[in-house]
Amino acid sequence: MPSEPGFPTAPAGAPLAFTLGDAAGIGPELIARLFAEGLPHPAVVYGDAGALRRACAALGLTDLQVQPLEAPGAGTVGGAIGVLNRWDALPDDLPWGREDPRAGRGAYEYLCHAIDDAQAGRVRALVTAPLHKGALHAGGVDFPGHTEILAQRTGTADYAMMLANDELRVLLVTIHIALSQVPAALSPAAELRAIRLAQRACRQAGIARPRIAVAGLNPHAGEGGAFGDEEARHIAPAIAQARAEGLDASGPWPGDTVFMRARQGAFDIVVAQYHDQGLIPVKYLGLDEGVNVTVGLPFVRTSVDHGTAFDIAGRGIADPASLRAAVRMALKMTAA
């Protein structure tokens, strides 16, 4: 079995890093609300000070100060939001709830700044507020989302998206590609890589011997080839190899029952073949406690499992529960 990658070690005393996400969405409000509540660990925000002041005003948080910083330092706990921004300041009249290339480009720049500091050991972990893919593209950023930006900027070849809550963990073999492209993207190597990353994610969560279920691609996991042969050609050989390496992997299991079995305690994590196969079961259990984790990076990154919610941005009613859960998971994953 290949040696298991080392888990990231949080620098002693380093702050937690939030990224603002798209300033026209609900990210600034969610972050401001968490700072107002009081965070369990010092933190800094990579983003735009003006956008955070506007969010504080929308929430009626008149006593919460926004303080521009030059470096992460020790972060702040209460009384002020420390902000780092090496990008241009956003205009004061940036509209809430609308796709804007300035907000899209800014979200990318804040994320890159935070990634660079995480790789340099200046922050404990990254907790990211949501991006808007249309605004990213309008701002000249040709990435489908956070996961791919994180992987490219860190030079990470083996990575995966995991979505988790208190009842279910799901890791994806393929992420942001069209459904029609999924079968061609599968291979024994891709399956084995995902199984190994699932093992790593569970071990980092404190599970000594993870039970890894691998979902099939086709109805009834192919029904012995009657409904497709991807299970026999790609998935089963990878499971056999993983078991030969000592991993407790099983399947391929039918996608219509494996998530229920995992929720009931039969498995610690499910490896799903494509985006919606894996994310719908987790999100059906509730967006408020779901956390998105990028597995395989040289540092811990967690995020909300929802989008920018342009329809309610600026109204002060966005629920910070998922961001709060992302903070808890980031701290747990980097605990000494």
pLDDT digits (tens, 9 = 90+) for 252-270: 999 999 999 999 999 999 9
CA distance 44 to 27: 14
Per-position DSSP letters for 88-124, written without gaps between them? PPPPTTPPTTS--HHHHHHHHHHHHHHHHHHHTT-SS
Residue 73, pLDDT > 90, answer no
CA distance 287 to 164: 10
pTM recorded for the entire structure: 0.87
Residue 78, pLDDT > 80, answer no
Confirm if 27 and 137 have CB atoms less than 8 A apart.
no
pLDDT the model gives residue 290 = 82
Residue 336, pLDDT > 80, answer no
User: Mean pLDDT score of the chain, rounded to an integer?
Assistant: 92
Instruction: Between 287 and 38, name the one with better pLDDT.
Output: 38
Residue-wise pLDDT for 107-117, tens only, equals: 999 999 999 99
Q: What percent of the chain has pLDDT over 90?
A: 80
Confirm if 116 and 154 have CB atoms less than 8 A apart.
no
Domain boundaries, the chain: 1-158+286-336, 166-285
pLDDT the model gives residue 11 = 64
- Residue found under tokens 């925000």: 45
Residue 60, pLDDT > 70, answer yes
Residue 323, pLDDT > 50, answer yes
Give domain 1-158+286-336's CATH superfamily. Answer: Isopropylmalate Dehydrogenase (3.40.718.10)
Residue-wise pLDDT for 92-101, tens only, equals: 999 999 999 9
Residue 64, pLDDT > 70, answer yes
Residue 2, pLDDT > 70, answer no
> Would you call 316 helix, strand, or coil by DSSP?
coil
The CATH T-level fold of domain 166-285 is Isopropylmalate Dehydrogenase (3.40.718)
Buried-exposed string 163-190: b where 16+ CB fall within 10 A, e elsewhere? bbbeebbbbbbbbeeeeeebbeebbbeb
Residue 3, pLDDT > 50, answer no
**pLDDT band with cut points at 50, 70 and 90 for residue 4:** low
pLDDT the model gives residue 287 = 62
Residue 164, pLDDT > 80, answer yes
Residue 310, pLDDT > 50, answer yes
Q: What is the mean pLDDT of residues 37-64?
A: 95
Question: Does the fold of domain 166-285 match that of domain 1-158+286-336?
Answer: yes
**pLDDT band with cut points at 50, 70 and 90 for residue 222:** confident
